[in-house]
Every structure is written in structure tokens, then in C-alpha cells.
């Protein structure tokens, strides 16, 4: 009877699984601050793709750890970049797997910020846009199905959309990290991706957690610039923002159940303080109930293995 009247549906088809791919790594390497998650070498990707499809998880979100970094983050758009290579392997192993490519420079810059810097250490928004555009085109060329800019530079969606269209990729959609907050819940990710800023923080270009109306304005701006889908990140502390966005727009909406949310739940479950499986069910259902069409979550495999 509960199933007959249940209002919110959650299936593997709603889930996106993030993957960390590390240059030079063979096999898998556990991420200490994210129990149950690994960095993957290129040689581990084909098996991973086939396992995810067997679990009916339709999509992955790729993050790369390059062999070296520089001030510009040139590894982000290199033809043989780590994510470019990973995308080709995944599509060859499981052509139906949707490969979403995160577009940002923070994993590739020696200073760890999401764009080029002025001499005083602040981010040069406008100078960063051509590099993000070049990265997006490079990733689409490598076979990525969706381009997902996470940098939070003003105007980056318009730049990326123009670059994709001019490069012959007008059919490749843009999933914008439209409402990305300057959050304390990113810590484990920054360890996993080795992307912590070397100085300062990202509050100059990520959103103030106190501002919901501004978040909606950012979402609408990105849609006007050509975003085909939009995202709210993190998910759980911003379910109210997610609901506002869902009610305001007609495009698909994603929510990112981020690393800190994942690690808190896993740590509590390891100590026997909560029931892991029920807590995962409740967490993912709450994000869907708030309005997310797709949930990006490190729990995707754990959940799909039980359903």
C-alpha cells in the first residue's frame, strides 16, 4: 500500500556517480576521507564502466588528477589530458554510459584556484573564460556527452556554449553548476582531487550560503546564457534552494550530494550510530523530493547494489 501511494520515485536511472581518475595510477587507490571511494587508474576504468551499467547507473561525472600542474591549468584542455583519455576508455567499454565532464581549472592549476590570477592573487574572471571554452571543446572532442562547468566564473556558460557551437558540438548539452555555494562540505573532495587552493579561499566567486534569491538569479542567468541543465551544490544544506529552483525553471535540475555529506554519513554508520542503508535511502529520497531530476552522489553504487 505504501508503494501505491508513494509520491517520490528513486531509481538507479536518477543517479550520477562521480569518478576520480589519476594519471600514472595502476588499479585503485582508496580515498581515506571518503570510505568506500577510490581514485582510479586508466586501467581500471573499463571494468568500472561495465559494472556501473550492470547496476543500471546511467551516468558518471569525471574529475581528473593530472601528472603535473601549472599556473594556467593547461592539463585541463590537453588533447591527451587525463579526463580526455578517461572519457575515451569509458565510451569504448560502455558506449551507452553518459559521460559528464566537470570543467574547471582548480584540479590543474599549481595555485588551486578555479581561474587565472591577477598579480594580487585574485581571480581574473574574463581571462579565464577562453581557457574554460577551450577545455569544454577538448572534452567534447574526446567523447564526453555533457559539459558541466563548475568554476563559477561570470559569463562562462555563454563562452562555453559559443565554443561548443563553433567547434561543431551544438548537440552537446551544458549542465551548469549554477548555484554553487562556498561550502564547508567540500573538504574530502579537495583531498580526493588534490584541488585545495594554495592560499585564500573561493568565496570571491562561489556563492554566499545565506543567499537564496541570489542563487535563483544565478540559475536564471545561466539558462539565459544557454545552459540546458542546472545544478544546486551542495544538496542537503540547500534543499530549500533546490525547491525554489525546481519551481522556477523548466530545464532539468541536478543536485550534488557532495563529499562532506557522504563522509559524515559513512563515518556515523561505521561507528554504529546510524543505519547506513536506511540513511542513504532517506538522504537520496529527500533530494529527489526537493525537486532534483538527477542526483550526483557517491552513494550511487551502494544504493544501486541494493535495488
Q: Are 180 and 153 in contact (CB under 8 A)?
A: no
The β-bridge partners of 255 are: 232, 295
Sign of CA dihedral 269, 275, 281, 283: negative
In order, the DSSP letters of 9-67 are: ---GGGEEEEEEEETT--SEEE-TTSTT-EEE-GGGHHHHHHHHHHTT--EEEEEEE-S
Q: Residue 123 forms beta bridges with which residues?
A: 117
Domain regions of the chain by residue span:
2-304
| Phi/psi-derived region of residue 105, left when phi > 0, alpha when psi is between -120 and 50, beta in every other case | alpha
Of 91, 113, 202, 233, the catalytic one is: 233
Catalytic-residue membership of 91: no
Q: Quick one: pLDDT at residue 166?
A: 97
CA distances from 37 to 20, 91, 127, 262 (A): 9, 22, 35, 10
Distance CA 124, CA 114 (A): 10
The pLDDT of residue 195: 67
**Model pLDDT, residue 71:** 86
Return per-residue pLDDT of the chain as tens, 307 residues.
Answer: 888 899 999 999 999 999 999 999 999 999 999 999 999 999 999 999 999 999 999 999 999 999 999 888 899 999 999 999 999 999 999 999 999 999 999 889 988 788 888 888 888 999 999 999 999 999 999 999 999 999 888 999 999 999 999 999 999 999 999 999 999 999 898 788 766 665 556 667 788 999 999 999 999 999 999 999 999 999 999 999 999 999 999 999 999 999 999 999 999 999 999 999 999 999 999 999 999 999 999 999 999 999 9
Question: Measured between alpha carbons, how far apart are the two ends of the chain, in Å?
Answer: 19
Name the CA dihedral angle for 226, 231, 233, 235, rounded to a multiple of 10 degrees: 160
The domain 2-304 having CATH identifier 3.20.20.70: the answer here is: yes
Task: Judge contact between 231 and 253, C-beta under 8 A.
Answer: yes
Q: What is the CA radius of gyration of the chain?
A: 18
- Which entry of 111, 156, 161, 180 is annotated as an active-site residue? 180
Verify whether residue 180 is a known catalytic residue: yes
Mutual angle of helices 239-248 and 276-290, in 10-degree steps: 30
Amino acid at each position: 500500500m505504501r508503494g501505491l501511494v508513494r509520491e517520490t520515485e528513486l531509481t538507479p536511472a536518477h543517479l550520477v556517480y562521480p569518478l576520480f581518475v589519476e594519471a600514472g595510477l595502476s588499479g585503485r587507490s582508496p580515498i581515506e576521507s571518503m570510505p568506500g571511494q577510490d581514485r582510479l587508474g586508466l586501467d581500471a576504468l573499463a571494468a568500472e564502466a561495465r559494472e556501473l551499467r550492470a547496476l543500471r547507473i546511467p551516468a558518471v561525472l569525471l574529475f581528473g588528477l593530472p601528472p603535473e600542474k601549472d599556473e594556467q591549468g593547461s592539463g585541463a584542455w590537453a588533447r591527451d589530458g587525463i579526463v580526455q583519455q578517461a572519457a575515451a576508455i569509458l565510451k569504448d567499454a560502455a558506449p551507452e554510459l553518459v559521460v559528464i565532464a566537470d570543467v574547471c581549472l582548480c584540479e590543474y592549476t599549481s595555485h588551486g584556484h578555479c581561474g587565472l590570477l591577477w598579480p594580487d592573487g585574485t581571480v581574473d574572471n574574463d581571462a579565464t573564460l577562453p581557457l574554460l571554452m577551450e577545455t569544454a571543446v577538448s572534452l567534447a572532442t574526446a567523447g564526453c556527452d555533457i559539459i558541466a562547468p563548475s568554476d563559477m566564473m561570470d559569463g562562462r556558460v555563454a563562452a562555453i556554449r559559443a565554443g561548443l557551437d563553433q567547434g561543431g558540438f551544438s548537440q552537446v548539452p551544458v549542465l551548469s553548476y549554477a548555484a554553487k555555494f562556498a561550502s564547508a562540505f567540500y573538504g574530502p573532495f579537495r583531498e580526493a582531487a588534490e584541488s585545495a587552493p594554495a592560499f585564500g579561499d573561493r568565496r570571491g566567486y562561489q556563492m554566499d550560503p545565506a543567499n537564496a534569491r541570489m542563487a535563483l538569479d544565478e540559475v536564471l542567468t545561466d539558462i539565459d546564457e544557454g545552459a540546458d541543465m542546472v545544478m544546486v551544490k551542495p544538496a542537503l544544506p540547500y534543499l530549500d534552494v533546490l525547491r525554489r529552483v525546481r519551481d522556477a525553471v523548466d530545464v532539468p535540475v541536478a543536485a550534488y550530494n557532495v563529499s562532506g555529506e557522504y563522509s559524515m554519513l559513512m563515518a556515523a554508520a561505521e561507528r554504529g550510530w546510524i543505519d547506513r542503508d536506511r540513511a542513504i535511502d532517506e538522504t537520496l529520497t529527500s533530494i529527489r523530493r526537493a525537486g532534483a531530476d538527477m542526483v550526483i552522489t557517491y552513494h550511487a553504487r551502494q544504493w544501486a547494489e541494493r535495488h
